[in-house]
Amino acid sequence: MPPSMIEGKRADSARRRDRVIKALDAALRTGGDITVSGLARAARVDRSFLYRHRDLLERVHTAANTPVTEGRLTAVSRASLQADLANALERNTRLAARVRQLEKRLSEQLGEQAWNESGLGAPPDIDHLQRRIAMLEQELVEKQGQIEERTEELEAARAANRELTRALNQSHS
């Protein structure tokens, strides 16, 4: 390759580097979004140019993660803003779930209140009635036990009666 061509390529590369640096400085001044694609577009170079020049790529990544200060605002980096956004989205999800839970509880309570006020609801002495039901169920179980005992006794008496009847019939024959 002739020396004049090599010099021309070097000059073109220097011009591109200069455009990338100017685009980076402009993005830093304006507080714009600093990305490889965005800077390549602003500097009118291909992204591969930035990837071939590691020093420029490193400057882009450093600038993207460097805190930006504007007036009295606190220094904020892109990563911290993304973390804040992720945290806000997570909090929003939790709050939405809590709102749904509270709406459901409110709906249930309003429904129960309307049911009771309509007169169709359960009687006010439901606790007394439930205790009475439990007591009656217990009595029922006891009575069923007594019936089973008496049934067994009756079966035993019938069996004894059959034996006695057989014995009497055999003695008379």
Mark whether 14 and 62 lie in a shared domain: yes
Distinct helix (H) and strand (E) counts, the chain: 6, 0
3-state secondary structure (DSSP) of residue 76: strand
Instruction: Give the pLDDT confidence of 48-90 residue by residue, as tens digits.
Output: 988 898 898 888 888 887 765 554 344 567 777 888 899 999 9
* CA-CA-CA-CA torsion sign (89, 92, 94, 100): negative
Q: Are the C-beta atoms of 58 and 95 separated by less than 8 Å?
A: no
Mark whether 57 and 93 lie in a shared domain: no
Instruction: Give the pLDDT confidence of 17-50 residue by residue, as tens digits.
Output: 999 999 888 888 887 778 888 889 988 999 898 8
Enclosing H/E stretch for 122: none
Mark whether 7 and 61 lie in a shared domain: yes
How many structural domains are present in the chain? 3
**Span 150-173, mean pLDDT?**
92
Strand partners, 68: 76
Q: How confident is the model at residue 70, as a pLDDT?
A: 52
Domain range for residue 48? 3-66
CA-CA distance, 74 to 72, in Å (whole number)? Answer: 6
Judged against a pLDDT cut of 70, whether residue 168 lies above it is answered with: yes
Mark whether 151 and 111 lie in a shared domain: no
Q: How confident is the model at residue 109, as a pLDDT?
A: 94
